[in-house]
Structure 1
């Protein structure tokens, strides 16, 4: 390469180096300026941070006040809702109690009207009690009593089985006995006396009534106060407010509905305030009971369902009224545990076999 060419290259490089140096100095000055600006910005941020912290504390305080007020309003709203619910519940219970009182007054008037009409037909002074229905007293009745006693012994269950099932009612009856100052219990349709025996063991005075002479004899052999007679005659002879409980286990399905109505109405007179009326009957909501076992007893007239019995008790004036579905079939648990077996179908077929209705005579008129 010639000397002139080399010199030219050196000069070019020198010029480029000078220009690069100027650019570097300019960039450095710009960087210094930006650093000054960033420093000023950081100082400004540092100045503003206390203000932001103060604002955040104010926001937190306001949020706390809002949350506290919200909780207070929520609590007040719940109180108002609960208060309204309690008021509605109280008014509903008061109205139901008032309706029951009106029903009792109506039933008492109807009972007295029966007495007056009966006396008028006979041309006599109205009796203190309605005349009981006449009892049958012929040879065929004796055979019928023996047949029914054998039927119960074979299919209803052993006395120990029946006692075990009836034991569930003891707390209800004991409470009623206490409320009525230990007045006695009357069991109508007492049969072989299983329930009377349970009551005796519990220290409760009880009288049993049944039309079946064979079963009455068996109950009397156990030392129980069992008397032959009809429910109508036993209740008609009882004094006002004289009993703590009237119980009837698997009786009402044997009677015409008019007779069941009479017993229920008369029970309101005979029971003391705080007393209890208890009916137990086959539960025909259980398909197997309604379709088969109910008809194993030829003396059953027709089923008595819980809607019918509830309305009956309400009509007469019992309050409150409780419904219980009891004694499921032994196979219920097995079918409830079967994979894919519908629980509703299992209950329909193997659910409660007995239905109980418990009606209370109020301690005082409301």
Structure 2
């Protein structure tokens, strides 16, 4: 599969901001209670189903990947940015990290016990999200679990010039309606088990939606 063109901007931008991103982004232990609880629930479901390892796609510097390991699952991280993977390997040498894209995971079909996409799908143009969600469905084992978390809105397309410490970036980001994301997951073949929407507040600038879903087993 030819790599989608938007990934070059994402790769270059996150290579540029990697060190400041790692310093600025909270670790899971610093998150609000609901955000921590959704990760804990996901890990518990993965452990109970015992279908295989967990791919943390768009893992960045590996903080959430390491948290999943602490929660008792067998995770590995994938990110399009080589600099992010370099930082993750340095911080967590006992875990596995590799450079790759969520549009074409180097994983055999029906082999993953879980997939986590934690604030990592928002750079994907909406018309290509079906490609990403279909790849999640292809690689997830029947009965395996998916957790997608990200910011949502009525539909917003952003082109920031700077990010994470004032570095120049060229990526774009999209905040889609919650209902649209749910529909895309259903169309990809997932069954949504739970949907959590967190409204903006003192510690949150934007609305957050979390989707816990699974790949149905064959009838």
Task: Note whether the superposition's TM-score is higher than 0.5.
Answer: yes
Unaligned runs of 5+ in 1: 1-130, 332-349
* Larger fraction in strand: 2
Query: 2:216, 2:205 → 1: CA distance?
Result: 32
Q: 1:232 aligns with which of 74, 94, 103?
A: 103
TM-score scaled by structure 2?
0.77
What is the CA–CA distance in structure 2 between the aligned matches of 1:178 and 1:132, rounded to whole Å?
A: 37
Could you say if the C-alpha distance between residues 273 and 256 of structure 1 is closer, same or farther in structure 2, counting changes exceeding 3 Å? same
**How many angstroms apart in 2 are the aligned matches of 1:163 and 1:199?**
16
What is the aligned-residue RMSD (CA, Å)?
A: 3.5
Specify the alignment match of 1:172 in structure 2: 42
Q: Which runs of 5+ in 2 are unaligned?
A: 164-168
Q: 2:153 aligns with which of 263, 279, 284?
A: 284
> Are 2:153 and 2:178, in contact at CA under 8 Å, matched by a contact in 1?
no
Asked if 1:361 corresponds to 2:178, the answer is no
Alignment partners' CA distance in 2, 1:163 and 1:233: 32
Offset at residue 163 of structure 1 (A): 9.5
Q: Is the 8 A contact 1:173 1:276 kept in 2?
A: no
Q: Distance in 2 between matches of 1:364 and 1:143?
A: 41
Equivalence for 2:196: 324
Deviations 1:241-262 (A, max 9, x none): 1011111111111112233211
1:158 and 1:322, CA in 2 relative to 1: closer, same or farther beyond 3 A? closer
**Structure showing greater relative contact order (alpha-carbon pairs closer than 8 Å, 6 or more residues apart):** 2
- Kindly report which structure 2 residues correspond to 1:147-158, keeping only aligned pairs within 5 A, or say none: 147-153=16-22, 155-157=24-26
Distance 1:165 1:194, change over 3 A: farther
Structure 1 SS opposite 2:78: strand
Q: How many residues align?
A: 208
Give the secondary structure class of the aligned counterpart of 1:232.
coil
Identify the structure with the greater helix proportion: 1
